[in-house]
Structure 1
Amino acid sequence: MDIGLGLPISAPARLLEWAQAAEAHRFDTLALLDRLTFDNPEPLTALAVLAGATTRIRLQTEVLLGPLRQTSLLAKQVATLDQMSAGRFVLGVGVGGREDDHSAAGTPIGRRGRLLDEQLAALREIWRGQPYRGTTIGPRPATPGGPPILIGGFAAPALRRVAQHADGFVCAAPLSWAGPLVRAVHEGWEAVQRPGRPRLVCQINVAVGSAATIDQARRAVAAYYAFTGRPGWGEPLSDPAQISDTVAAYRDFGADELVLYCYAEDPEQVGLLAEIAH
Structure 2
Amino acid sequence: MSNLIAAAEAAERLGRPDAVFADVRFVLGEPEAGQAAYVRGHIPGAVFFDLNKDLSGPKETHGGGHPLPAMDEFARKLGEAGIDAGTEVIVYDDQGGSIAARLWWMLKHAGHERVRLLAEGFSAWRDAGFPVTAEPPRPIARTFVPRVDDRLRATVADVRAGLERRDRVVLVDSRIPRRYTGEDATKYAKAGHIPGAINRYWEDGSPGGVFLGAEAQWERFEGIPADRDIIVYCGAGVTACPNVLALTEAGYPNVRLYVGSWSDWISYEDNPIAKGEE
Q: Same fold (TM over 0.5)?
A: no
Structure that is richer in helix per residue: 1
* TM-score (normalised: structure 1): 0.28
